[in-house]
Amino acid sequence: MDDMESEDPNIQELGNQIGGLVMGIQEALTILFIRIRQRVLQTTILLCVLLLMLWVAIFLYGSFYYSFMPTASFITPVHFYYRTDCPTPHHSICSLPMANFSLLKNGKKQVMTYGQPYQITLELEMPESPVNEQLGMFLVKMSCYSSDGQVVDTAARSTMLHFRSSLLNSLGTLAFFPLLLMGTTEQKQYVLVELYSSYVDNSYKPTVGAVVEIYSQQVQIYKAQLYIHAHFTGIRYILYNFPLASAVVGVLSNFTFLSMLLLFSYLQMALNGIWPNRQDARWNQFRPRRRDVSEATGLYERNAQPEDNSTGPKTNMSGASVMGPSDITDSNPGKMEESILDAGVEDIVEINNSKCCDENHCIPEAQNEEIYLKLRFLSEGVSDPPADATDKAYYRTGTCLSS
């Protein structure tokens, strides 16, 4: 029995130790779980903020690229027309081939940007026919006009087919005759006519269309197209010729700027929490003094009310709890003086002694001066103070009231 009784405390002590260990493990696991949850939450918020900033940076770069970069190239078909009502039956074409086309995107937006130079080229697809070979040189003219129909600029260039000898034509026909028989290739040439090497649109009279005219009635053309290509310089050249590198640099720059802005905002909020505004603290420091002055003013007005002789002595209910009936009915100036000074003057003197200023640098308030001088007149036994109660020479013999 003694052995069992001696073992019971040991078992209880061991149980307490195990229970304490289990409680410690539970607390440690709880703290660990809370910390892990906080870290996961903070990481999620950080990833969301970074992702949002990345999307904003991409949007800013895309908006800048769309607004800053003009149209790089524009291609439009050119359809020639001519008159056929000839007075003589020997000619089937009565006028020069002419084409009129618009230089607006979807009929609304202008293709060419003000101040940007453009290269304008006309491509003619012409067959290697005997007529074109015998035609020789011919003239191509382009006239640009504004919205009111006024001609803005005119350019004219001459061109012709590239020369090929009869032997070269025969060898080419023999080499490509299977493709020529199947129709996959044709005997034709592409003639490029550079009408403008550096055309700059006029901002006062923007170009909305053009007219192309070929000065030859015998020319044979399959089809024609007009190419407008912009010549970029500076930042536009880099953005157009190196789009991937420009996009990476632009997005990273925007992302860095947004990160710095967010960091500075966070630091400002943190510093405002640690060091509050000194002006607010100074204003809160002087607010009790203003309240004490207003309380003393109110007490003076209550005690200085005139007595009504018709109804007998008038009892001031606001001060009845402080003053007895004998004090109220007693008209002795000395007692009234003591009550007023005990209630107001000592408070004002105590307030003003905490902040005393030089006579040259003190800016007293007119209302506080008048109240203070009235209190001094009453304390000296003067029942009727003078009309000019704001005598600065008399006022400055005492303390200075300052806000």
Strands (E), 138-247: 138-145, 151-159, 188-200, 209-215, 223-230
Sign of CA dihedral 65, 67, 69, 72: positive
- How high does pLDDT run on average in the chain? 74
Count CB atoms within 10 A of the CB of residue 180: 15
pLDDT tens, position by position, 291-300: 555 555 565 5
pLDDT value for 118: 93
The pair of structure tokens assigned to 113 is 């940007």
| pLDDT in 10s for each residue of the chain, 403 residues | 455 555 566 777 777 778 788 888 888 889 999 999 999 998 999 899 999 999 999 999 999 998 888 888 899 999 998 877 666 666 666 778 899 998 888 777 888 888 889 999 999 999 988 888 888 889 999 999 998 888 999 999 999 888 888 888 888 888 888 888 887 888 889 999 999 999 998 888 899 999 999 998 888 899 999 999 998 988 999 999 999 999 999 999 999 999 999 888 888 888 876 555 555 555 555 454 555 555 555 655 565 555 444 444 444 443 434 444 444 344 444 444 444 444 444 454 444 444 444 444 444 444 555 555 555 555 555 555 554 544 444 444 444 443 3
pLDDT value for 199: 92
Closest CA to 112 of 153, 158, 64: 153
How far apart (Å, rounded) are the C-alpha atoms in residues 220 and 128?
A: 9
pLDDT value for 147: 87
How far apart (Å, rounded) are the C-alpha atoms in residues 314 and 359?
A: 42
How far apart (Å, rounded) are the C-alpha atoms in residues 402 and 289?
A: 10
Count CB atoms within 10 A of the CB of residue 164: 13
* H or E stretch covering 126: strand 117-127
Contact 350, 289 (CB under 8 A): no
How far apart (Å, rounded) are the C-alpha atoms in residues 373 and 360?
A: 20
Contact 265, 153 (CB under 8 A): no
Instruction: Kindly give the interhelix angle for 366-379 and 278-303, rounded to the nearest 10 degrees.
Output: 40
What residues contact residue 221 under an 8 Å CB cut-off, 6+ apart? 80, 97, 124, 125, 126, 214
Return the SS3 of 123: strand
Q: Is 233 exposed, middle or buried (0-12, 13-18, 19+ CB in 10 A)?
A: exposed
Supply the DSSP symbol for 307. P
Please name the amino acid found at residue 306: P
Count CB atoms within 10 A of the CB of residue 208: 19
pLDDT value for 192: 93
The pair of structure tokens assigned to 232 is 């970029």
pLDDT value for 323: 44
pLDDT value for 224: 93
pLDDT value for 317: 40
How far apart (Å, rounded) are the C-alpha atoms in residues 365 and 357?
A: 14
pLDDT value for 20: 81
Return the SS3 of 110: strand
What residues contact residue 154 under an 8 Å CB cut-off, 6+ apart? 141, 142, 143, 144
Instruction: Indicate the pTM of the whole model.
Output: 0.55
Looking from the CA of 284 toward its CB, the CA atoms found within 13 Å total 6
The pair of structure tokens assigned to 279 is 């002006």
How far apart (Å, rounded) are the C-alpha atoms in residues 135 and 221?
A: 12
Contact 338, 360 (CB under 8 A): no
pLDDT value for 337: 44
First to last CA, the chain: 88
Looking from the CA of 46 toward its CB, the CA atoms found within 13 Å total 7
pLDDT value for 92: 63
Domains of the chain: 44-69+243-275 (no CATH), 73-231 (2.60.120), 281-306+315-395 (no CATH)
